[in-house]
Every structure is written in structure tokens, then in C-alpha cells.
Amino acid sequence: MTSTPEPTTAPTATPATAPSAPSVADVARDGRAVLDEVATAVVGMTEPLRIALAALLAGGHVLFEDVPGLGKTLAARSLATALGLDFRRIQCTPDLLPSDVTGSSVFDPATSQFEFRPGPVFTGLLLADEINRTAPKTQSALLEAMAERQVSVDGTTHPLPAPFHVVATSNPVEYEGTYPLPEAQLDRFMVRLAVGYPERSAEVDVLTRRLARRQEGASVRQVVDGATLLAMQAGVEAVEVDADVLAYCVDLAAATRAHRAVEVGASPRGSQALVLVARALAVLDGRDYVTPEDVKAVAAPALAHRLSLTPQAWAAGLAPEAVVTEVLAQVAGPTTARRA
């Protein structure tokens, strides 16, 4: 009698085991240690890196959007190393296929079965470098992974490891061979950050450090691991947010929908991102409460990329960040909220 080969089972994600939720002081201490270590390699990005780490602690994904040569890829690699996460990189190109991201089923002659071979998305931190260089079809391969921490291939759902985060980079000034990110794709990123050119002293520091180490790459040591990151995220989740701060976040998101220059405003996912990143930022500062200043600090990174401007506003050169600035000036903050 000929035995029938057993069907190949999909790889099962094995999440890191998180210890009990640490205190706010513990999360703040570990967060500062991560940022200090990343700063040994990345110069002049203090505030963007702080908000990026807050987004990761809030369980989200990060999009760095700025001109080439400002250290966006180095920042992503350094964060992954300092956080002790498995790191995979996708160099996005026009011919990149969805299966190059998620993986595919390959026929195994030895067993006469199809075996799923996971793609680079099965990692702790995935860097999608120059994400706007790949076609929307391939960009869409990340939608399920970013929203639900799983991928579906050939009718089978495969869970991703925990923690799982996407850090993407994008070049907003180059149009040849690029594709605009669909609104649904942008909405999956908890924050979009602009790095900006460094100050003169910081740029001199970059050159000085490069000459001192006598090699191109800058090394970063591991500070925490995946299990500790999960514990830090649990510590952030344990922090309550006052009702008036929640109402303030909702009012800000609603104000973007009513703005004259906005065709499509921030969705409830935007107001959720606003409060979650603000809470993580407060914890990094060692506080177990969120202030209106925390919300204001993350408003543009959390909301601007979710706004679709009217054709008239776009033609006039109005930036979504300017709309968020106007909204912050118009919406009254809570008067009963605690201050830092």
C-alpha cells in the first residue's frame, strides 16, 4: 500500500514571551537607553527618533519620508538592532512582486506537496526601503500584514511573529519611476516623519564621526530584546488616558474633516493613532498620564499623512502639515487636563 504524504503545514509564528507589564519608570528607562544607543550612530534626529520609538511602543508602523542621504535607512537599522529585533530589508523596485514580500508555495518533488516558503515579511522589523518605487499591487501585499499581523497565501493564513513592525522610507521629491502611496497604505502607518536637514553643528558631527571610525558602517549594540519590547508595549497599554484628552483627540480629528482645504479628513484610525502615540510619548517621559502637549507634539506625524486635500489646496501648494497646524490653533485644548 502506498502511503499518501502528509500535507505541508504552514509555518507558525512563535511570538516572544512577554513578562508582566513593567512600570512606567522601567519603560522610560529602557526607552531612553534605546534612544541613547541609536544616537551613537544617528546624528541630528533626536525628535523624529523619539516619536518613531513611541509609535513602535504603541504597536504601530513608521514611515520616514524625506530626501535621500539624511539617514532614514540607518535610523531603521539602528532601531532594529537596539531593540533586538530580527531585521529584514526589502529594496523596493518596480519589478518587485507581492510574493517577494509575503512568500509563496513551492512544489516539493520529494513529498509531491506544495510547501510554503515565508518571505521577508516574517521578521521582527521589516524595512521597506524606498517603498514608493514599487507598484501599488506590491504595496498592497503589506496591507494585511500591517493591519492584522498575518498574511494570506493560496487561501491559507499565516500569522506573523510578535513583535512585528514595518519601517518604510520614501523619497517625496523624485517622481521618475515612483508610484504614489495609496491612501489605504498611508493609513496603515501610525506616523509619518520628516527627518529634515541637520543643523550645521550636527552635520559637522556626522563627518567627524565618519572620519574617526575609519569605515562606512556605524555599529549599534543591542539594548533590549523582543520579549522586553513586548513587555514595554504592555506597560504602555496599562496607562489610562483622561476622558478630556480623549475628547481633545477626537475633536482634532473631526476638525480636519471640516477644514475647507481637506477633501477627506482623518478617520477614527487617525484619532486612535493620535492618542496611542501621545500616550507612549508620555511614558517615555516617565509620566503615567497624557497631557495636551503630548497630543500636540504628535499631531502632525499622526494626522497629516491621512488627509487628502482638495485640488485647489493642492494646486496652491498647501501642505497637510499646515492644515494640522491650523487645526491645533483652532481647537481649544482641555482645561482640566494635567500638565507635565
- Ordered by start, the domain boundaries in the chain are 24-91+125-131+161-226, 240-330
Q: What is the pLDDT of residue 35?
A: 96
Identify any residues that bridge with 224 across adjacent strands, giving them in sequence order. Answer: none
In the block, cell 544616537 appears at: 39
The whole-angstrom separation of Cα 310 and Cα 320 is 11
- pLDDT tens-digit series, residues 282-306: 999 999 999 999 999 999 999 999 9
Using alpha carbons, select from 340, 271, 280 the residue that is nearest to residue 307.
271
Query: Chain-centre distance of CA 77, in angstroms?
Result: 13
The whole-angstrom separation of Cα 332 and Cα 15 is 42
Q: What is the pLDDT of residue 33?
A: 96
**Helix and strand element counts for the chain (H, E):** 14, 11
**Pairing mode of beta strands 156-159, 150-153:** antiparallel
User: Could you tell me the three cell numbers for 246?
Assistant: 480623549
* CATH of span 24-91+125-131+161-226: 3.40.50.300
DSSP 282: H
Using alpha carbons, select from 125, 144, 6, 14 the residue that is nearest to residue 75.
125
Q: What is the pLDDT of residue 301?
A: 97
Walk along the chain (340 residues) and give the pLDDT tens digit of each residue: 444 343 334 445 545 554 578 899 999 999 999 999 999 988 888 999 999 999 999 999 999 988 877 788 889 999 999 999 999 999 998 889 999 999 988 888 888 788 888 999 999 999 999 998 888 888 888 889 999 999 988 888 999 999 999 999 988 766 666 788 888 889 999 999 988 888 888 889 888 888 888 777 778 899 999 999 999 999 999 999 999 999 999 999 999 999 999 999 999 999 999 999 999 999 999 999 999 999 999 999 999 999 999 999 989 989 999 999 999 999 998 876 676 6
Q: What is the pLDDT of residue 64?
A: 93
The H or E element spanning position 136 is helix 136-139
Q: What is the pLDDT of residue 337?
A: 62
User: For the whole model, what pTM was predicted?
Assistant: 0.88
Name the class of domain 240-330: mainly alpha
Q: Could you count the other beta carbons within 10 Å of the beta carbon of residue 93? A: 14
DSSP 336: S
